[in-house]
Amino acid sequence: MQLIINCPTDKKGIKEFNTAFAQVQKELVLYSIRKLNLYIQSKEKILNHLVVELKKQVDKKERLKEL
């Protein structure tokens, strides 16, 4: 299989690419969680934990930008 990715060079294109890539990542994570052999409550806990951890990373990145 051959995969060709056209990477944009302007700010708008980079932003669109990053948004599309994030969407693919989100779908893969959700698919993986759905496929787990766990009760729905456990899947919800995993998803909630991911959300909390991602928010922490975003907050940390924002604080670093301010420095």
Condensed to tens digits (0 to 9), the pLDDT of residues 10-44 reads 999 999 999 999 999 999 999 999 999 999 999 99
pTM of the entire predicted model: 0.71
Alpha-carbon distance of 35 to 33, in angstroms, equals 5
Instruction: Judge whether residue 67 has pLDDT over 90.
Output: no
Helices marked H in 4-39: 11-35
What does the alpha-carbon distance between residue 41 and residue 19 come to, in Å, rounded to a whole number? 29
DSSP conformation letters of 49-66: HHHHHHHHHHHHHHHHHH
Residues listed for the chain: 67
